[in-house]
Amino acid sequence: MSDILVFVGYGEAFIFIVLLLASVLALAVGMERGIIFKRNYNKTIAGFASELIRLLRSRDLKAALHLVKESGENAYTRFALFAIEHAQDNAAGLEDLMAGKIIEEKMELEKRLTILNTLGNNAPFIGLLGTVLGVIKAFHGLGTLGSTGAEVVMRSISRALLATAAGLFIAIPVVMANNFFTKRVKIITQHLEILSREISASLHMRGPAPAKKPKASKKR
């Protein structure tokens, strides 16, 4: 039984180490994704998208292309540059190309969000496992020491409950951050869908140049 308690003690310490590493990893991923989404979703980009849509509706692809090239690099400009360049060539299957580009940008935005999702879902269970191990150790001490060791046992249980608290402390902000980033991905993707439809409509509305009217013959 003593050998089992040794492993329980090691397991309890290991749980706290895992939770510490999980918190560091979650913080690093959250900061990295925060920087990425700040570059791809802000008031300046919203203004750029509105101006680009205005130019597309006026069927001025040349001005739209110039605006895209002068607006820096983000998900919107990358997509718009890709779409406008192919629209100018009247490439067959443009809508399929733009749909593929939207998927590519979505995958880039969702990168590493799986880490946050995994940590948010599993951190409470990791903390609970640490609590269970601590309670096992505490009750064994209570059975060994009896009423004389009640104070030691209570301290042990208190320390065990810290594992659950630590797991929840990690999980709650991680889940909130993951939901926030997921919402941003959805919004950006929807905006790209709008741009896709605007570009497609602009291309279809241009049509062939109107035929020149024949010159009237002069009467003698």
Count of C-beta atoms within a 10 Å radius of residue 25: 17
What tokens does 52 get? 């680009």
Using an 8 Å Cβ cutoff, are 75 and 40 in contact?
A: yes
Binned at pLDDT 50, 70 and 90, residue 188 comes out as: very high
pLDDT of residue 145: 60
CA–CA gap between residue 10 and residue 18 (Å, rounded): 12
Token pair 């001490």 is at which residue?
141
Q: Residues near 143 by Cβ (< 8 Å), separated by ≥ 6?
A: none
Domains of the chain, residue spans: 2-204
Across 6-20, 114-128, 164-178, least confident range: 6-20
Binned at pLDDT 50, 70 and 90, residue 175 comes out as: very high
What DSSP character marks residue 212?
Answer: P
Q: What pTM does this model have? A: 0.79
CA–CA gap between residue 135 and residue 112 (Å, rounded): 35
pLDDT digits (tens, 9 = 90+) for 88-147: 666 677 888 899 999 999 999 999 999 999 999 999 999 999 888 888 887 776 766 655
Count of C-beta atoms within a 10 Å radius of residue 56: 25
Distance of alpha carbon 5 from the chain centroid: 42
What DSSP character marks residue 17?
Answer: H
